[in-house]
Amino acid sequence: MKRTKIVNLLKADEKSLGQEFLVKGWVRTKRASKNIAFININDGSVIHNIQAVADVNNIDNEVLQNITTGASVAVEGVLIESQGKGQKYELEAKKVDLLGKADPEKYPIQPKKHSLEFLREVAHLRFRTNTFGAVNRIRHHMIFAVHKFFNDKGFYNIHTPIITGSDAEGAGEMFKVTTLDFDNTPRTEDGKVDYKKDFFGKATNLTVSGQLEGELAALALSEIYTFGPTFRAENSNTKRHLAEFWMIEPEMAFYDIHDNMDLAEEMLKYLIRYALDHCKDDLQFLNDRQKEEDSKKPANEREPMELIEKLNFILENDFERITYTQAFDVLRNSKPNKKGKFAFPVKEWGVDLQSEHERYLVEKHYKKPVIVTDYPKAIKSFYMKQNDDGKTVRGMDVLFPSIGEIIGGSQREEDYDKLHRRMEEMNIPKEEMWWFLDTRRFGTVEHSGYGLGFERLMLFVTGMGNIRDVIPFPRTPQNAEF
């Protein structure tokens, strides 16, 4: 008999009642009395289990003993309306096969609540929990939705390189890529490492962003996006930073910063709507999970909204659009700033916004997503379009509740001379970047783009609190197990 996935079985119509099906999956729980055993099986296709009800006299005793949490089984049986509460259907088992045992003394995932910290230590098995099943199914749907959104708008997906020869973006510390022998590194006459002898004949790194190459493509194909892994070797051990994360970077010719903001807002709303439409059961589970966790916290640490309510709230509100200077004024005059509550006091125009500031703007002041534009040029990258005031650039950050910065982007400087001068001021190696400058020499046009951190989006959509729990295998300082 062909196996039926549980997701399809639970969707079966009345006509399937009384028919035989084969289900395969992993045991979540087993309860057995003298005559009857209830086996709850999950195969990951959906958050719900199917319950198999078996006459114990029909199952080999050793098989029955070994049907424990985590074991894999195949059950053939008749689909019937459930007698118990909480499920529509169940399987009246005719045949129960044990596929793989899971020694209950050693299997770490038991049918009880495990802490997320503990589950990170057994990340190879945490997929088998409801929480990580839900997160990873939602992650899939969000990846698919990103491609659908851009494809439907006529954007082309470009693969930008993962190994890069330029370290000019300045977005973060980089990981070196080399085949040189560390115990016997070739040296130049002045004692420096001789990268001419390295694999690529030059120093190379893992990319921090696909933007610069994305710009090359946009200045020919008009509207492109990249969606690839990016790597940052900063030693930041926070709930919002990974050393390896995925970034979505659209880049558009003939877009100014307003077009850029419109696209960012439209995209975020599309992705959230997509999750609400396609991940109902998983979102409901995470919603209820968060509510339960919250109820254990002191009132002032609780989330102001339930997860699904918060997602809907984003759809219903226009994002607030303000300049850095407006944000600075709000923050400087804010209560927490006056009372010395910020770890980084807001005193002088020009300071970078910290996540505590971003969250104040979003959660306390405007009470909705905020897009901040026109940042001081000193705190932003060399490629951002310079404003006429000589002080600010056309950068834009999208700030979200609970997350802070979810998107960073800008209108790009398309003027060759201005870009060249800025690179000189910021000590960007122009010689290495000749190809980037060439786009401004040949047929330059106004253009813009941004980067959405995919795991930051996942944090928001799932309501999970730590970025290590929204990527299957997190890479953070001192941690690359699995």
Calculate the alpha carbon distances from 335 to 301, 320, 327, 347, 356 in Å.
Answer: 19, 21, 14, 13, 13
Q: Rule CB under 6 A: say whether 456 interacts with ligand 4AD.
A: yes
- The single residue among 143, 171, 180, 445 that binds ligand 4AD, judged by CB under 6 A, is 171
- The single residue among 449, 459, 461, 470 that binds ligand 4AD, judged by CB under 6 A, is 449
Q: Rule CB under 6 A: say whether 25 interacts with ligand 4AD.
A: no
Nearest distance, CB of residue 453 and ligand 4AD, angstroms: 2
Binding site partner of 209, from ligand 4AD, Mg ion, none, Cβ cut-off 5-8 A by kind: ligand 4AD
Nearest distance, CB of residue 353 and ligand 4AD, angstroms: 12
Other CB atoms within 10 Å distance of the CB of residue 283: 21
The stretch near Mg ion (CB under 5 A) out of 3-11, 95-103, 304-312, 402-410 is: 402-410
Locus of tokens 């199917």: 50
Locus of tokens 């035989």: 20
Nearest distance, CB of residue 405 and Mg ion, angstroms: 6
Residue span 56-85 as binding mask against Mg ion, x where in contact by CB under 5 A, dash where not? ------------------------------
The stretch near ligand 4AD (CB under 6 A) out of 21-29, 121-129, 153-161, 406-414 is: 406-414
Amino acid at 189: E
Are the CB atoms for 4 and 21 separated by under 8 Å? yes
How many CA atoms lie within 13 Å of 286's alpha carbon, on the beta-carbon side? 30
Residue 382 CA to residue 170 CA, distance in Å, equals 9
Binding site partner of 413, from ligand 4AD, Mg ion, none, Cβ cut-off 5-8 A by kind: none
Closer CB to ligand 4AD, 93 or 433, in the complex: 433
And the tokens for 231? 């790597």
Residue span 249-288 as binding mask against ligand 4AD, x where in contact by CB under 6 A, dash where not? x---------------------------------------
Q: Which residue is nearest to Mg ion (CB)?
A: 408
And the tokens for 138? 């939602």
Q: Rule CB under 5 A: say whether 408 interacts with Mg ion.
A: yes
And the tokens for 90? 């169940």
- The order of strands in the sheet holding 320-323 is 156-157, 223-231, 244-253, 447-453, 404-411, 392-400, 370-376, 320-323
Residue span 365-404 as binding mask against ligand 4AD, x where in contact by CB under 6 A, dash where not? ----------------------------------------
- The single residue among 241, 377, 385, 422 that binds ligand 4AD, judged by CB under 6 A, is 241
Are the CB atoms for 391 and 380 separated by under 8 Å? no
Nearest distance, CB of residue 231 and ligand 4AD, angstroms: 9
Residue 336 CA to residue 357 CA, distance in Å, equals 10
And the tokens for 75? 């059950």
List b or e across 219-231, with b for residues whose CB sees 16 or more CB atoms inside 10 angstroms: beebbbbbbbebb
Q: Rule CB under 6 A: say whether 132 interacts with ligand 4AD.
A: no
Closest listed residue to residue 12, CA positions, set 116, 333, 20: 20
Three-state DSSP class for 78? strand
And the tokens for 38? 């209830």
- The single residue among 242, 271, 428, 459 that binds ligand 4AD, judged by CB under 6 A, is 242
Amino acid at 361: L
Size of the site for ligand 4AD (CB under 6 A): 20
Residue 250: phi, psi to the nearest 5? -80, 150
The stretch near ligand 4AD (CB under 6 A) out of 26-34, 150-158, 294-302, 448-456 is: 448-456
Binding site partner of 334, from Mg ion, ligand 4AD, none, Cβ cut-off 5-8 A by kind: none
Closer CB to ligand 4AD, 287 or 373, in the complex: 373
And the tokens for 219? 């200045």
Nearest distance, CB of residue 451 and ligand 4AD, angstroms: 3
Nearest distance, CB of residue 381 and ligand 4AD, angstroms: 7
Q: Rule CB under 5 A: say whether 449 interacts with Mg ion.
A: no
Residues of the chain by 3-state class (helix, strand, coil), percent to 5: 35, 25, 40
Nearest distance, CB of residue 147 and Mg ion, angstroms: 23
Helices 280-295 & 257-278 angle (0-180, nearest 10): 90
Residue 424 CA to residue 322 CA, distance in Å, equals 30
Nearest distance, CB of residue 67 and ligand 4AD, angstroms: 41
* Distance between start and end Cα atoms, the chain: 35
Residue 270 CA to residue 277 CA, distance in Å, equals 10
Size of the site for Mg ion (CB under 5 A): 1
Binding site partner of 180, from ligand 4AD, Mg ion, none, Cβ cut-off 5-8 A by kind: none
Q: Site residues for ligand 4AD, window 203-232 (CB under 6 A)?
A: 209, 211, 232
* Residues making contact with ligand 4AD (CB under 6 A): 171, 209, 211, 232, 241-242, 245, 247, 249, 405-409, 449-451, 453, 455-456
* Residues making contact with Mg ion (CB under 5 A): 408
